[in-house]
Amino acid sequence: MSAPTDAFGPDHPEVLSVPALAAALELPDVRETLPIGSSGVDAELRELARGAGANVVLLPGWPVAPQQSAGPSTAALVVVAPSQGRERTLHQLRAATGLPAWPIARFEP
């Protein structure tokens, strides 16, 4: 979400905060986080995959357009360990941060 399309500020309930990011990093299945900035989620996701030497498989149901700016790091990619409990991990992430979370991609070798 980013101006001028979206109005937001540091008190917006869906803007990533440092305490929310710290809470996400405390979860046992969380391996890494990467703030999403003005390049948009797709560019940041591909950069993260490139650094891991992986290919990106996009999942359906993205809540925003892939190239939409996230402005000054209003959101983050959260990399979780592959597991049988993706829904459980998403529930834990939402509960720990108080923020929305969606599965948007997976990495493959």
38 DSSP assignment: T
Assign domain 18-108 one CATH number from 3.90.650.10, 2.60.40.420, 3.30.465.10, 3.40.50.300. 3.90.650.10
Q: Is residue 70 over pLDDT 90? A: no
Q: What is the pLDDT of residue 78?
A: 92
pLDDT category, 5, cuts 50, 70, 90? low
pLDDT category, 8, cuts 50, 70, 90? low
Q: Write b or e for each residue in 39-48: b if 16 or more Cβ atoms lie within 10 A of its Cβ, otherwise e.
A: ebbbebbeeb
With a pLDDT cut of 90, the percent of the chain lying above it is 39
Q: Is residue 77 over pLDDT 50? A: yes
pLDDT category, 1, cuts 50, 70, 90? very low
Q: Is residue 4 over pLDDT 60? A: no
Is residue 50 helix, strand or coil? helix
Q: Which residue has the higher pLDDT, 1 or 47?
A: 47
